[in-house]
Every structure is written in C-alpha cells, then in structure tokens.
C-alpha cells in the first residue's frame, strides 16, 4: 500500500474514510495529523501553499505535547 502524504501538512498519517456514491469516481481521504479531508479528484495546488504554516503549527503542537520536562 502506498503511503499518501497529506497535501496540507505532508504527514503520512492519512487514511481513506469514504468512497464516492458512484464507485470508482473518487475517494475521500483524511489526515489524522491536521484533520484535513479531501477528495482524490480535488485540485490541491492551492492547498500546498499552506504547507509551511501547517508544518510549523504541527511541529509546535508536537513539541508542547511531547515535552516531559
Ligand atoms: Zn495533514
């Protein structure tokens, strides 16, 4: 199985959540990192512009959650 990277935050923690009502038209994916949901047929070129923002946001929340000091 291919690991699908989230188009918004580049996370590999993605999963397929649904299929289109008409089978084979599109699939719906969800990112468990930033909760972004998208269809396989969507144009995601605009989404990628937010990549840096999401990387920073996710990294920051990871750091604050992961600290044990
Ligand atoms: Zn994501």
Higher pLDDT residue, 58 or 4? 4
Please tell me the distance between residue 14's alpha carbon and the centre of ligand 1 in angstroms. 8
What was the pLDDT predicted at 55?
73
Burial of 50 (0-12, 13-18, 19+ CB in 10 A): middle
Detail the DSSP E strand segments found in 1-69.
Answer: 14-19, 27-31, 37-39
Please tell me the distance between residue 52's alpha carbon and the centre of ligand 1 in angstroms. 12
For the chain, state the CA radius of gyration: 14
pTM: 0.68
pLDDT in tens, 22-69: 889 999 999 999 899 999 998 887 776 667 777 777 666 665 655 555
Please tell me the distance between residue 68's alpha carbon and the centre of ligand 1 in angstroms. 25
Please tell me the distance between residue 44's alpha carbon and the centre of ligand 1 in angstroms. 12
Please tell me the distance between residue 11's alpha carbon and the centre of ligand 1 in angstroms. 5
Residue ranges of domains in the chain: 14-63
Query: pLDDT band for position 13 (50/70/90)?
Result: very high
């Amino acid at each position: 199985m291919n690991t699908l990277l989230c188009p918004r935050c580049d996370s590999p923690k993605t999963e397929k959540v649904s299929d289109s009502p008409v089978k084979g038209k599109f699939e719906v994916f969800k990112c468990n990192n930033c909760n972004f949901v998208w269809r396989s047929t969507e144009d995601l070129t605009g989404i990628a512009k937010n990549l840096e923002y999401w990387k920073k946001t996710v990294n920051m929340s990871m750091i604050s959650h992961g600290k044990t000091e």
